[in-house]
Structure 1
Amino acid sequence: MTRRALLRLAGLLAILSAVVLPATVRTAAATSATSAPAPAAVTRAPVAAGNEPLAAPDTNDPNPVILVGTGGLTWSDVDAKATPALWSMLRDGSTAALSVRSVFTNTCPIDGWLSLSAGDRAAAAGPGKGGDRSTRDPCPAVPTVDSGVVPGWSRYVQAADAKRFGSKPGTLGETLASNEQCVQAVGPGAGVGAAYVSGAVPRYAAYDASQLTGELSRCRVTLVDVGSLRDPADLPPGEPAATASLSGSGGTGSGGTGSGTSGAGAGSRAEQAGVIDKRISEVLQAAPSGSDVIVASLSDAGSSERLRLVAAKGPHYGSGTLDSKSTKQPGLVQSADLTVTLLHAAAVPVPTGLGGAPLYRGSADDNSESAARDRLRGLIDFDEASHEVHALVPPFFNGVVYTQIAIYLFAAVVWRRDFGSTDLRLRLLRIVRRVAIVAATVPASTFLANLIPWWRFPVPMLAIIASVGLFVAILSAIAFLGPWGRRLTGPLAAVSLATLLVLGIDIMFGGRLQISSLMGLQPVVGGRFYGMGNVTFALFATSAILLCIAVSGYYVKRGQPRRAALAVLVVGLAAVVIDGSPAWGADGGGPPALLPGLAYLVLAILGIRMTWRRGALIGAVTVGLFLLVGFVDSLRPTEDQSHLGRFFESLFNGGAWDIVVRKLEQNISILFGNYRLALLVPIALVFVIYILARPTSWGSRALERSYEACPTLRPGLIALLVMLTIGFAINDSGVAIPANGAIIAVPLIIAVSVRVLEDEARAGATTRAKRRG
């Protein structure tokens, strides 16, 4: 075992001791943990086509790597005739959609270059409170290097420190310099990207096409700013349409010192793209033979956030997709990968804590024109799906919230015994039950909808509604029409199992359905690209517990509590493994929330009373398993690690506190900012606690009868409440967990309770009819 692994194991044992051993041992363990040195820097291995690692680059290899940075371009701007240089990169190189999300909602050109410099999220401060910036604020200027220094550099460093992402502008340049590798910067943005932590840029030149040949041969790593496209139709108010221009061919423009950015000059979107493409062509012609050239659009074109383009061509990149292990999504990478790729190409150790991984050629393809068009269609699909769904998410969740509230109110009315005649009440109860079950099929249907390319239709909103509706109809038919549809918990089991299978299988096969889905991961936001996000976990874990209720209730009613407990363990632990496995769900906050709920349900089924001591033991075991999985994940190569392994490392390199504080701030922001989603949490809790749980309430009578019909329903609901509460407390954006859990749980609980009332009303009507007869 390596020294790095031994240090982590010692730290893990110290933390576990602090959780489960007596106080005297805890003190000694905590001392040893704090005295352990930080892990050494990690060198990441490059990867070639077919995901096979290449040999580490020879430090004496003269072949350079050139990053051509631009901004605002998407793959829809690329055309064989209008942008021939970009088309050649598409045809002959490796390509991907690029997530450029930095600190703020939209990424300005200065943000893109600062993020490249830091290897993580960084941005210039805005005019708002705490340096915040809105999409309506003009982009800060990209400064031009003056006397070998980036003007205002200290402000960029302060802005990065204030946002607690752990990013340090200057990481790229400083790491190269400390390993005796130089970096040449050409153009203002490149100067920002190549700066040292002090803001110094020893090798800088203005963009001049006639001088490129010499400048591209001076250092192992070269950054070139060819200007950023600023869409006149999407500019924030107050930003002039005419941006400061880099020079065209043969000129020596200063660029980027005006009110906007290092731009491609005034003009339409297509005209600016043509200017940028011409500069890219100049760089390709001047690049030394054998160079790896990476073209990356580092920023947005205005107020709108979108996926951008990245392409690489050279000895390490042939025709095909460009992949990264940081996203685990073929053809989708993030801007942090670019920094790691440059450091790796220079054969220098990559500092720990950077959020990216080296770019590599994934699936190979031929370089024919027809193959290039097919790849372009796929790349545009990635961007359009992400862009279209992002705008639809807020109205979708608003509709879900209002629909849920309507179901609650309708149920509250028909639950009353004195409401209408028996026939009318039966019809209304049947309607409520069916509507509730249909509503519970919506979450799984939003993922299945991505099996249909709805974003290609003329009206994407109508297309996605129709796609979701199609799968709602299919899942509802399964819930109603099978033999289980006539049983009390049959539809609950069917919908829960369907949701569990859809989400679980999708996660195990890479999470393709949840990317750019209404309730899945949004690559344009860049928070997660794989595994279980908070929304997915809430739906998955809630479905797992509901399925456990249905299955265990079946066995308990037949006097088989041990089989019921075993069934809960099988279903629950399978869900925990899928959620927590670094290769699948990679969810750090999920298992600590799900395991205690499952443990409570198992103990309740076996008739074992929960005590403080047993609760503390369950908590200790849960924390221990979380740390153990994090430790094992941290032993994997850095580019293969998930969020679990990186967080475990942060416990020892000093970054854990910043992560915790940042996630807490996000939770508070969502709780008080997204008021409609947050509104669903107290309403659902009031509905469950006041209407259903109070012994004297009219709603509780229905639930009490449901408890009798399904004996594990009460402990199951308590287990669900435990899971949702812990999930809310320990996860960033944790308010999304109970809110989205309620989306599927409350309608299905209502359906069970209404079915009990429906059976009673039908039996009462039959009895009265016999009496009259």
Structure 2
Amino acid sequence: MTRRALTALVGLLAALVVTVLAAVLPGASASAGASASVTAAPRAAEPNPIILIGTGGLTWSDVNARDTPSLWTFLRDGSTAAVSVRSVFTNTCPVDGWLSLSAGDRAAAPGPGKNGARKTTDACPPIPVVESGFVPGWDGYVRAANALKFGARPGTLGEQLASNKQCVQAVGPGAGLGAAYTSGAVPRYAAYDSSALTGLLTGCRVTMVDVGSLRDPQDLPPTEAATRPPSRAEQAAAIDRRIGEVLTAAPSGSDLLVASMSDAGSSERLRLVAAKGPRFGSGTLYSPSTRQDGLVQSADLTVTLLTAAGVPVPDALGGTALRRGEEGSNSEPAAEDRLRQLLDFDEASHEVHPLVPPFFNGVVYAQIAIYLFTAVVWRRDFGSTDLRLRLLRITRRVAVVAATIPASTFLANLIPWWRFPVPMVAVVFSVGLFVAIISAIALLGPWSRRLTGPLVVVALATLLVLGGDVMLGSHLQISSLMGLQPVVGGRFYGMGNVTFALFATAALLLCIAVSSYFVKHGRPRVAAVTALVIGLAAVVVDGYPGWGADGGGPPALLPGLAYLVLAILGIRMSWKRGAILAAATVGLFLLVGFLDSLRGKENQSHLGRFFRSIFEGGAGDIIVRKLQQNLDILFGNYRLSLLVPIALVFVIYILARPTSWGSRSLQRSYEACPTLRPGLIALLVTLTIGFAINDSGVAIPANGAIIAVPLIIAVSVRVLEDEARATATTRASRRG
């Protein structure tokens, strides 16, 4: 290795280390600042009694002052939120909700399918009634939890309370399931009896009451629909009456938490949760696990009960204690406003979820059409010069417009499209509006005459939209077509796989355009430094626990960035240098995970929790589960998703090799844009690593292609367009 290469490599690695350390070390304070609107967590020195009123199937659309007065008092006088109840299967049954509460993680009763699988068309298993102080069939729930590898341990809640000398009173079948010990024992259990509630609610610091679950007659599987339950409104009113009975019997000074922990039938959607008492005034509920005011997850309920009882919370639990978030008034108009915000959470997630698959299918088919059309106009002998010039111009503009779609899907959430009578039409219009704005800026400005001008505009717009969103709280991502789906519950903030793919691709494309400008002007060192600054800024935004909180992103982006910087400096990548970069990347990944694990549990990202699991156990189950998710996508029902990364590798392979059959006519693109070829290889490196190390990693190259290939085509076609225009001018002069 030459001294110049060694110096450049050491300098690059030093820059990476300094950047990551500078981002992570002050992370705890920054994360605290990000939630400055949240009131301080309650003191655990003198815990108040807490009563969990458990139900299921209710959403905030079921609540109003006339028909559900008890729930309305929670909305007016307490702290409220929408809750993601996803457990293991697509829809969460009442028994799943109570098991998840017991485990503090995703758990479910086994279904009739292979390996205990359950479909949305299967009837929900019944909740067992405690017999002789034990839950019947408890061993089956434990075996199912072990087989699912979510790390769930049914009985965690009851066992943790008992081991710290705190009793828990269970009232009703679901509560018996939630309060069980790891052995299945339930020492304190009683059937629901309104006349006995006063005595039952005063015996223990933690009490759980099952007031029944709503089952929507219009959404039940056929086997359940045959039972003909009462109407949705009648069931909601009956549940509300039982909630009112608990409120009347509850001792003064208690905190009351009502939670709808399951779905109402086959459809999945966000449910309701509310709390009131000494620690919960009027306003919203906040959970650091979601970092979204007014949006929490079911795992938070277990931690909230343990915290309220003054009991240590096991590190393995992924939830955090609920607390009062944004303060509000207890007036009726204020309650109406909070209800509208809660309905927005639910309606947006419910309306966008079924639109995601057809949207991605449409984008993929549109991309394939662009590829085919481009292949036609690439041929020099196609049609007359004027016709070919016209087709090239159309192809370039269509490609640029197509590349603006991802950023526009996030910006579309600035408009409450879900409130319109036909949400599908409204969201298409919203996306189209921002596509038109970004495309106009890219194609009509003075920079449009430059080779990479439109590419810079689109890439920069994508970076600013996605990066700015995660820095400001990830609000545009929630329930967007290409963002995070709270009803699924995997992520609620930061960079998911799709967002990372778009963000990293845009960053590398911007590096290509800017570095090419300086290389063409004979300033390769400035080009390398500029690309390094852009790339490292993207790494910080993506990996910083308070912003992107992406554990798998930096290890994928850093090697691609390093390759590009070294290529700009004229340093070839050897096996030895590649091994050094790979080792440095792994080391930085572990360093970030270690530093994140040192932060407070509420401020840790999933990367810090994964690092802790390496030493505390459970990391193996996480790795196996994520590997299985990738395999299911590759060989399951997502063959179209597999087609896109293969096409991406094929296209980049053609474009990156000037001697291949498909890119002989594109050699001028590399001459006009000197860092295009190494930039494409860097992009391929990043997307391939991202595919390999992330769960559902097939989404990374697939979504990277959505923005990368159109912009690469736009640059290449612009070169051919200039060539065709020059040819037409030459022929005209000869005729003259």
Q: TM-score range by the shorter chain?
A: over 0.9
Could you say if the C-alpha distance between residues 75 and 241 of structure 1 is closer, same or farther in structure 2, counting changes exceeding 3 Å?
farther
Which residue type is aligned with residue 645 of structure 2? V
Shift of residue 49, structure 1, vs aligned partner = 8.1
Partner of 1:650: 613
Contact 2:38 2:286 survives alignment (8 Å): no
Give unmatched runs, 5+ long, in structure 1.
Answer: 1-19, 21-46, 244-265
Measured in 2, the distance between the counterparts of 1:567 and 1:386 equals 40
Q: Does residue 1:193 correspond to 2:157, yes or no?
A: no
Partner of 2:70: 85
SS state of the match for residue 222, structure 2?
coil
Measured in 2, the distance between the counterparts of 1:425 and 1:51 equals 64
Could you say if the C-alpha distance between residues 426 and 208 of structure 1 is closer, same or farther in structure 2, counting changes exceeding 3 Å?
same
Which residue type is aligned with residue 457 of structure 1? F
Measured in 1, the distance between the counterparts of 2:464 and 2:225 equals 51
Could you say if the C-alpha distance between residues 380 and 241 of structure 1 is closer, same or farther in structure 2, counting changes exceeding 3 Å?
farther
Match of 1:540 among 493, 503, 527: 503
Shift of residue 132, structure 1, vs aligned partner = 1.1
SS state of the match for residue 364, structure 2?
helix
Contact 2:219 2:264 survives alignment (8 Å): yes
Partner of 2:725: 762
Contact 1:446 1:517 survives alignment (8 Å): yes
Partner of 1:736: 699
| Higher mean displacement: 347-356 or 439-448 | 347-356
Partner of 1:75: 60
Measured in 1, the distance between the counterparts of 2:624 and 2:395 equals 43
Contact 2:110 2:117 survives alignment (8 Å): yes
Shift of residue 674, structure 1, vs aligned partner = 1.8
Q: Does residue 1:159 correspond to 2:147, yes or no?
A: no
- Alpha-carbon displacement from aligned partner over 1:422-448 (angstroms, at most 9, x marks no partner): 111111111110000000000000000
Measured in 1, the distance between the counterparts of 2:212 and 2:647 equals 51
Please, what TM-score do these two structures have when normalized by structure 1? 0.90
Which residue type is aligned with residue 142 of structure 2? V
Match of 1:500 among 463, 474, 487: 463
Structure 1 stretches of 4+ moved >6 Å:
none
SS state of the match for residue 414, structure 1?
helix
SS state of the match for residue 474, structure 2?
coil
Partner of 2:376: 413
Q: Within 5 Å, give how 1:23-172 maps onto structure 2.
A: 50-58=38-46, 63-172=48-157
Contact 1:397 1:677 survives alignment (8 Å): no
Partner of 1:176: 161
Please, what TM-score do these two structures have when normalized by structure 2? 0.94
Q: Does residue 1:436 correspond to 2:424, yes or no?
A: no
Partner of 1:262: none
Partner of 2:216: 231
SS state of the match for residue 55, structure 2?
strand
Partner of 1:254: none
Contact 1:48 1:362 survives alignment (8 Å): no
SS state of the match for residue 226, structure 1?
strand
- Alpha-carbon displacement from aligned partner over 1:67-123 (angstroms, at most 9, x marks no partner): 000000000000100000000010000000000000010000000000000000000
Partner of 2:359: 396
Measured in 2, the distance between the counterparts of 1:427 and 1:762 equals 10
Could you say if the C-alpha distance between residues 241 and 329 of structure 1 is closer, same or farther in structure 2, counting changes exceeding 3 Å?
farther
- Alpha-carbon displacement from aligned partner over 1:531-556 (angstroms, at most 9, x marks no partner): 10000000000000000000000000
Q: Does residue 1:703 correspond to 2:688, yes or no?
A: no
Which residue type is aligned with residue 103 of structure 1? V
Contact 1:242 1:267 survives alignment (8 Å): no
Partner of 2:647: 683
Shift of residue 675, structure 1, vs aligned partner = 2.1
Q: Does residue 1:373 correspond to 2:336, yes or no?
A: yes
Measured in 2, the distance between the counterparts of 1:89 and 1:393 equals 34
Q: Within 5 Å, give how 1:515-530 maps onto structure 2.
A: 515-530=478-493
Q: Within 5 Å, give how 1:270-419 maps onto structure 2.
A: 270-419=233-382
Measured in 2, the distance between the counterparts of 1:156 and 1:399 equals 41
Partner of 2:528: 565
Partner of 1:255: none
Shift of residue 668, structure 1, vs aligned partner = 1.1
SS state of the match for residue 239, structure 1?
helix
Indicate the RMSD between aligned Cα atoms, in angstroms. 1.3
Partner of 1:9: none
Which residue type is aligned with residue 740 of structure 1? N
Contact 1:702 1:753 survives alignment (8 Å): no
Measured in 2, the distance between the counterparts of 1:709 and 1:554 equals 10
Which residue type is aligned with residue 69 of structure 1? G
Shift of residue 241, structure 1, vs aligned partner = 4.8
Q: Does residue 1:721 correspond to 2:709, yes or no?
A: no
SS state of the match for residue 567, structure 1?
helix
Contact 2:652 2:681 survives alignment (8 Å): no
Which residue type is aligned with residue 687 of structure 1? V
Shift of residue 489, structure 1, vs aligned partner = 0.7
Contact 2:81 2:296 survives alignment (8 Å): yes
Measured in 2, the distance between the counterparts of 1:48 and 1:453 equals 26
| Higher mean displacement: 63-72 or 685-694 | 685-694
Q: Within 5 Å, give how 1:237-252 maps onto structure 2.
A: 237-242=222-227
- Alpha-carbon displacement from aligned partner over 1:392-423 (angstroms, at most 9, x marks no partner): 00000010010000000000111111111111
Match of 2:560 among 571, 582, 597: 597
SS state of the match for residue 238, structure 1?
helix
Identity among equivalent positions (%) equals 76
Q: Does residue 1:204 correspond to 2:189, yes or no?
A: yes
Which residue type is aligned with residue 574 of structure 1? A
Which residue type is aligned with residue 454 of structure 1? W
Contact 1:433 1:755 survives alignment (8 Å): yes
Contact 2:408 2:434 survives alignment (8 Å): yes
Partner of 2:23: none
Contact 2:658 2:666 survives alignment (8 Å): no
SS state of the match for residue 223, structure 2?
coil
Shift of residue 613, structure 1, vs aligned partner = 1.2
